[in-house]
């Protein structure tokens, strides 16, 4: 059984170009009813909206944390998120209230897979179950803006793990590049493409120049 521990130091004032310790569980959060405990061990993924004000952080066994003040303070954001950890995160560039998370762990669980939030990580729902471990460091999920999207980005990609090596349980191996055309609301489809069996050897990223799919 893993020993629970709490990050409970005070937020320091940052020098002009310095770094400060990030309190995932602060004195203020504990006063508001967040006791701390399991979490904050291995950061697995992080995502930030275009303004730099809203961030999501996934850790290995503590689920997801969110910040609405550019990382100055954090709080757990796991309502409806049933995975123990999150190894992939993407925030919709057209709406910071929408995000996709990849639930993973060292063990295989049926509740792992893709989760969607449409209320700024106040709640999540499982939209694509995947009995995987997926305990890895890799950019694997992204929204891809296209003309005519409107208020939300409709196209999204997920590169599902190929060489899955769980500590416990048997993973279902269905690697490949999965695609959603409804903003992640429904079950993602796996296209017949050159990326079908590349899985964990594929990264998915977006930037000003467009979407990039390739080797890590």
Higher pLDDT, 37 or 59: 59
> Is pLDDT larger for residue 7 or for residue 188?
188
pLDDT for position 12: 39
Say whether pLDDT at 91 is over 90. yes
Residue 13: predicted pLDDT: 43
Contact present, 56 and 105 (Cβ < 8 Å): no
- The domain ranges of the chain are 43-214
Average pLDDT, rounded, for the chain:
81
Instruction: Report the CATH superfamily, name and number, of domain 43-214.
Output: YVTN repeat-like/Quinoprotein amine dehydrogenase (2.130.10.10)
Q: Give this prediction's pTM.
A: 0.79
Rounded Cα gap, residues 57 and 105, in angstroms: 15
Report pLDDT digits (tens) over 111-130: 999 999 999 999 999 999 99
pLDDT bin (cut points 50, 70, 90) of residue 5 is very low
- For residue 201, pLDDT beyond 80: no
> What is the average per-residue pLDDT within 143-169?
92
pLDDT at 212: 58
Q: Rounded to whole angstroms, how far apart are CA atoms 186 and 174?
A: 18
Q: What is the pLDDT of residues 67-78, one digit of tens each?
A: 999 998 888 999
Q: Is the pLDDT of residue 215 over 70?
A: no
Tokens 């944390």, located at residue: 65
Whole-number pLDDT of residue 81: 98
Tokens of 167: 């500590």
Q: Which residues sit opposite 129 in a β-bridge? A: 113
């Amino acid at each position: 059984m893993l020993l629970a521990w709490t990050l409970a130091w005070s937020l320091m004032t940052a020098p002009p170009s310095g770094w400060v310790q990030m309190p995932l569980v602060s004195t203020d959060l504990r006063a508001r009813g967040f006791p701390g405990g399991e979490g904050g061990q291995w950061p697995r993924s992080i995502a930030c909206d275009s303004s730099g004000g809203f961030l999501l952080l996934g850790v290995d066994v503590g689920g997801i944390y969110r910040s609405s003040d550019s990382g100055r303070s954090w709080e757990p954001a796991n309502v409806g998120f049933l995975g123990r950890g999150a190894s992939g995160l993407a925030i919709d560039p057209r709406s910071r209230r929408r995000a996709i998370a990849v639930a993973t762990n060292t063990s295989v669980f049926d509740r792992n897979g893709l989760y969607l939030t449409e209320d700024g990580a106040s709640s999540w729902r499982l939209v694509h179950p995947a009995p995987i471990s997926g305990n890895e460091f890799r950019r694997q999920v992204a929204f891809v803006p296209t003309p005519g999207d409107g208020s939300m980005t409709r196209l999204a990609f997920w590169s599902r793990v190929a060489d899955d090596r769980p500590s416990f349980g048997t993973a279902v191996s269905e690697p490949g590049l999965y695609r959603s055309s409804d903003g992640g609301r429904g079950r993602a489809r796996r296209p017949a493409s050159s990326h079908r069996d590349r899985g964990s050897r594929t990264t998915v990223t977006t930037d000003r120049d467009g979407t990039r799919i390739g080797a890590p």
